[in-house]
Structure 1
Amino acid sequence: MPRKGMRSIFFSSSKTSSSRAPSPIRSTPSTPLHNFSESVMEQKFENARSIIMAWDPDSNSYAKVTSIFHENRKEAREFLKCVKDLQKTMQFFVSENSSSDKLVHAQRLMQIAMKRLEKEFYQILSANRDHLDPELVSSRSSRASTRSSTSDYEDDLGSEDELQIANDSISEVEEASTLAMADLKSIADCMISLGYGKECVKIYKTIRKSIVDESLYHLGVERLSSSQIHKMDWEVLELKIKNWLNAVKVSMKVLFSGERILCDHVFSASESITESCFSDISKEGAINLFGFPELVAKGKKTPEKMFRILDLYQAISNHWPEIESIFSFESTSTVRSQALSSLVRLGNSVRTMLSDFELAIQKESSKSLVPGGGIHPLTRYVMNYLSFLADHSGILPDIIADWQMPVQSPLPESYFESPNSDENPSSEISVRFAWLILVLLCKIDVKAEHYKDVSLSYLFLANNLQYVIAKVRTSNLQYLLGEDWISKHEAKVKQYAANYERMGWSKVFSSLPENPTAIISPEAVKECFKKFNLAFEQVYRKQTSWIVTDAKLRDEIKVSIAKKIGPAYREFYEKYWVTVKDDKNVESLVKFAPDDMGNYLSDLFYGTDSSGSTSSSSSSSRSRSRWSRR
């Protein structure tokens, strides 16, 4: 142990290393007051010598292998008190004769005492690694505030009554943690006040840093380079991201917060020492921890990485108040800077991927047609992507706050703007989502033109827009886009369905006379039945392979068609059946009874398999008699 200067010991306060102790009362030698003071100091010196030498590890084999704080807490308090008294006697001796033998002897005793306390400090830290676990420390802090840094260090050990009260309210493990923290603070306060803070600080940093590093290792925090991240398969990197998300949660809620609480408590006598200790213990590990997201953000940007990038961004964003609080020292500002740098990089990465996503929609150029006018794979992919993206709508506004919309839009703003955008705090992200859906719908409009049958192209548009609406309604997109947006697009679906009916069933509708009960000739009746048979068979044969994926929309279209065909055909059939029933070719002349209409319509919009048979159980309806008569 380095030999301390006499002045640093004589005139340092028992409270803090920076404050001065009051000067001892001066009296003329040989006066009664002086003789009394000298007698008191002599007694204090002898008491101190007796206790300190009893615990000198170099002169007592028992003292070498045991701990005063572990064996006898009452004597530990007495030891700290006698060190304080020894300091006072040294101040008295130096005022009397700065070169006296007593002063030299007292200084040697002080060094023995400091060596003993250094040993005790090390033993407490080493023996209580589990009891000083950051999780225990952080949970303890939520129930009891740390003791005042101005209390005398011997008082920090606590009275027996206080300890009994503590025992009644906390578990055995928590009690051990509380006692260890109090003992460490007592020793640190004492050594710092006497100018020996460097010794306990060195021990504290060595032991506690090993605990932090070991904890981060067990949490899966690795030191990786940018090239290592770049070479990883996505599946491997995704696992590391999941590990990191757990690690940052535990680190901020438990590890670093616990270390900060412990450090603040043990070294409450000196803010500069607290900062130095916590910085040296935590800074390296924290910088490595918060550097990982930045390395991920620098890697290749593909759509599947978007959601993990957002998870990383949200984790840092959520823990930002704790980052600022725990790493508030100037010496740990590099930790805050690293976390902020990662946040910025992640945000830039998200914006880039969103731009690439929009561009990929616009550039999608496949001309393959979806059989039966069903849902296009692009529609499924984009809407699934956007619905997952909407789950992060809480942080997306921060990321895209300054992201400008395209200058030119082919459609009016009312088509894609979110309602009440001025009142909606998330209006920017709402408009962005509406814009991306608009880009998709424009692309679907182009793909609809590839169908040769115009009615099928409208069914394709209705199917895809209905799928978009369903995805909006069943995800957080509904809160971003609003009911007004949904209502407008539902009206658009009805318009597409109406256009499909008009274009797809016009020949069937026009095959019957405008007035089904009007008087017409028998030949005209036969011609009407023939035209209806031909038109219905053609439409039915063609449209059994068409599909409407949404059950509600499918039923609505069927009901609408049935209402337009059923009553008119029934009226015509009932009036003119008697006209043709005796015809020898009646079965080829009248192929459908009114009751058959519902059966045939029920077969529509389920699509067909590769063999051409219907994929719906409704095919059983065609097994019923097609030629049933009244």
Structure 2
Amino acid sequence: MPRKGMMGHFFSSKSSSSAISHGSSPSRASLYTPTSSFSSDAAMEQTLATAETMITKWNADISSFAKVTSLFYENRKEARDFIKCVHDLQKSMHLLVMEDSNSEKLVRGQNLMETAMKRLQKEFYQILSMNRAHLDPESVSARTSRSSTRSSTSDDDDDDGSEDEIRIAGESITEVEDVSAIAMADLRSIAECMISSGYGKECVTIYKIIRKSIVDEGIYKLGVEKFSSSQIQKMDWDALELKINNWLKSVKIAVKTLFNGERILCDQVFAASESIKESCFTEISREGAQILFGFPEIVARSDKKSPEKIFRTLDMYTAISSHWPEIESIFSFESTSVVLSQSVNSLIKLGESVRTMMVEFESAIQKDASKSAIAGGGVHHLTIHVMDYVSLLADYSNVLVDILDGYPPPAKSSMPESYFDSSDSDESPAPAISLRFAWLILVLLCKLDGKSKHYKDVSLAYLFLANNLQHVINKVRTSNIQYLLGDDWVTKHESKVKQFAANYERLGWGHVIDSMPEDPTAEMSPEAVKEFFRRFNTAFEQAHHKQAACVVPDRKLRDEIKSTIARKVMAAYRQFYNTHRVVLRGERNLNLLVRFAPEDVGNYLSDLFFGNVGSWSSLSSSSGSSHSKASRSR
């Protein structure tokens, strides 16, 4: 906000820069060459008289009306006449200086010019102050986009129900735009008049003070603060994250509205002078912009670089890089290049911080020391954490491409050849980022391979590997990681899941499958039939007892494993059961000898991989019941 007493400071009659003395250089009065000549004293006298009438009318020192009234607000036509009158006076003074520098008319014109400039200073200040709402950066920055949007709106909208609402909203927007446009046009005409008359310094001083206060106030309202490295270092992460989140919300508004609007206004008001335009915008915006774009660099330089903080760092990098075209355009002056340099430095430091945190994350995976086996061969918490982390990282692939560009890829000697034989076509993602993601997942898979050795039951180790790799694949498929790694990667690792599952089935259920005769329908003696049922009962009970606690969280994989086991066990057992059970029809304690009907085996297998440890006893009773029913039915 303007400081109290500013009006008096701006409009003091003792302003030393508002007069041209007889002995001083006529630099102010000689900036422009007149387009018309004053060939007679009468014409010159007429110009002075006209100027004197107009300027005296609006002299606040002698007119109460002029003291409380705004020229540009009261009568815009008269305001334009006033500006024209000043231009004519300036031309006549220029001619008088060349003809007779001691002319009494020159002294008279000089006094009028000083009075006129004092008036225009006041008008300039009043327009800036009274139109803050219409000249705020948001209104100014929105004006250009709104006008283009309005001009492209179809006149053939046949939605009569919303026509009135659209018209009212359009009129409201138009009114704001019109007031803003008028204010900027008035400021521009005053600025050009004062600059051409040699009073640019006074005009610029008013503009810089008022507009800088508005920008500084805007920065303050956005909650952007200036911090030192030591202050950031002393903050705990929760407090710093709040500051970062506030900065992320503020930077978009600051770029698209605050600084963009200020640049547009500056360009409009001082369109006649590139140097003044640059000087004003630089002084008004540079300090606030450096504070805004310096914050990420200070954060990136701090020691707060644990892997979980990478996402806020990437958010800051994204915020600057995504707005870079606007930043570069707004701060295109040579004197504001320091703002661009600060933005670039922040990007560099943020990128370095991201790379450091990715290395630390990889190291954390490798150093994970948990040795307890996951119950039932389920998905390890490390797998869940790493894949959640990596899938979130993949959402930042657009900026990670830049951050990892030129970053040394993992050594080929330390990675399987399959990671390097993917397509190198133009449609492939950037190799550096693809290899980095493939490497992180490989580090996880190698760690999981080591953890599988904690299982005493080898079949459970293979189920553990199948479950965890399936979780990895699911995360890849449902995130941007698939774009980075490609379909070939998914296909290759899906085949590995099938290999792990096949190994689990062979080791966990192989002795059940092996207990089945090669030809379930071949003729057999009663003793051979009894021996088969005894072997099957023992093998199936042992297998189910071991596997009852196993879990397969992924439904598709669970169904595939159960289907494979059932296909290999159920079909042969059903054939044998239906063919040979009749041989034992008169056998005493038949229920103990033939413990499982085919339906019972199906029930047992159906209940697998949910981690139902107690399912064996409940199904044992149901199998007996089922078998009894089957017996009675035959």
TM over 0.5: yes
The one-letter amino acid of 1:491's match is: S
Aligned alpha-carbon RMSD (Å): 2.2
For residue 418 of structure 1, report the CA deviation from its aligned partner. Answer: 4.3
* Contact 1:544–1:605, Cα closer than 8 Å, also in 2: yes
> What does residue range 235-274 of structure 1 map to in structure 2 within 5 Å?
235-274=238-277
For residues 416-447 of structure 1, what are the alpha-carbon distances to aligned partners after superposition, in whole Å with 9 as ceiling and x for unaligned? 66444665242321121111111111111111
Structure-1 residue corresponding to 2:30 = 11
For residues 265-311 of structure 1, what are the alpha-carbon distances to aligned partners after superposition, in whole Å with 9 as ceiling and x for unaligned? 11111111111100000000000000111122122111221111111
Q: 1:249 to 1:614 in 2, by over 3 A?
A: farther
Structure-1 residue corresponding to 2:497 = 493
Distance 2:419 2:101 in 1: 92
The one-letter amino acid of 1:287's match is: Q
Which of 75, 88, 94 lines up with 2:78 in the alignment?
A: 75
Distance 2:421 2:499 in 1: 21
> What does residue range 442-481 of structure 1 map to in structure 2 within 5 Å?
442-481=446-485
For residue 624 of structure 1, report the CA deviation from its aligned partner. Answer: 6.2
For residue 330 of structure 1, report the CA deviation from its aligned partner. Answer: 1.1
Structure-2 residue corresponding to 1:613 = 614
* Contact 2:410–2:439, Cα closer than 8 Å, also in 1: no
For residue 24 of structure 1, report the CA deviation from its aligned partner. Answer: 4.1
Which of 304, 308, 316 lines up with 1:304 in the alignment?
A: 308
Secondary structure of 1:297's counterpart equals helix
Q: 1:104 to 1:345 in 2, by over 3 A?
A: same
Structure-2 residue corresponding to 1:65 = 68
* Contact 1:118–1:200, Cα closer than 8 Å, also in 2: yes
* Contact 1:418–1:480, Cα closer than 8 Å, also in 2: no
Higher helix share: 2
Q: Does 1:397 align with 2:401?
A: yes
For residue 515 of structure 1, report the CA deviation from its aligned partner. Answer: 2.0
Q: 1:143 to 1:566 in 2, by over 3 A?
A: closer
Distance 2:441 2:132 in 1: 56
The one-letter amino acid of 2:192's match is: D
Structure-1 residue corresponding to 2:219 = 216
Q: Does 1:292 align with 2:279?
A: no
Q: 1:620 to 1:64 in 2, by over 3 A?
A: farther
Structure-1 residue corresponding to 2:626 = 625
Q: Does 1:42 align with 2:45?
A: yes
For residues 169-200 of structure 1, what are the alpha-carbon distances to aligned partners after superposition, in whole Å with 9 as ceiling and x for unaligned? 96222211111101100110001011100001
Percent identity at matched positions?
62
Distance 2:273 2:239 in 1: 46
Q: 1:341 to 1:41 in 2, by over 3 A?
A: same
Structure-1 residue corresponding to 2:182 = 179
After TM superposition, which residue ranges in structure 1, 4 or more long, deviate above 6 angstroms?
Answer: 617-624
* Contact 1:391–1:476, Cα closer than 8 Å, also in 2: yes
TM-score normalised to structure 2 length: 0.89
> What does residue range 79-228 of structure 1 map to in structure 2 within 5 Å?
79-142=82-145, 171-228=174-231
Structure-2 residue corresponding to 1:275 = 278
Distance 2:624 2:353 in 1: 59
Q: 1:482 to 1:621 in 2, by over 3 A?
A: farther
Distance 1:186 1:77 in 2: 9
Runs of 5+ unmatched residues, structure 1: 14-19, 26-33, 146-166
Secondary structure of 1:501's counterpart equals helix
For residue 625 of structure 1, report the CA deviation from its aligned partner. Answer: 2.6
Q: Does 1:385 align with 2:386?
A: no
Distance 1:405 1:98 in 2: 78
Deviates more, 1:96-105 or 1:75-84: 96-105
Distance 1:623 1:248 in 2: 72
For residue 236 of structure 1, report the CA deviation from its aligned partner. Answer: 2.4
For residues 372-402 of structure 1, what are the alpha-carbon distances to aligned partners after superposition, in whole Å with 9 as ceiling and x for unaligned? 0000011101111111111111111100011
* Contact 1:417–1:431, Cα closer than 8 Å, also in 2: no
Distance 1:227 1:560 in 2: 63
Q: Does 1:323 align with 2:344?
A: no
Q: 1:245 to 1:554 in 2, by over 3 A?
A: same
* Contact 1:419–1:485, Cα closer than 8 Å, also in 2: no
TM-score normalised to structure 1 length: 0.90
Distance 2:628 2:206 in 1: 100
For residues 97-148 of structure 1, what are the alpha-carbon distances to aligned partners after superposition, in whole Å with 9 as ceiling and x for unaligned? 2212221111111101111111111111111111101111112233669xxx
Q: 1:104 to 1:503 in 2, by over 3 A?
A: same
Q: 1:618 to 1:396 in 2, by over 3 A?
A: farther
Structure-2 residue corresponding to 1:333 = 337
For residue 227 of structure 1, report the CA deviation from its aligned partner. Answer: 2.1
Runs of 5+ unmatched residues, structure 2: 1-14, 149-169
Distance 2:185 2:562 in 1: 80
Structure-2 residue corresponding to 1:602 = 606
Q: 1:58 to 1:607 in 2, by over 3 A?
A: same
* Contact 1:533–1:592, Cα closer than 8 Å, also in 2: yes
Secondary structure of 1:505's counterpart equals helix
Deviates more, 1:448-457 or 1:370-379: 448-457
Structure-2 residue corresponding to 1:510 = 514
The one-letter amino acid of 1:9's match is: R
Q: 1:457 to 1:143 in 2, by over 3 A?
A: closer
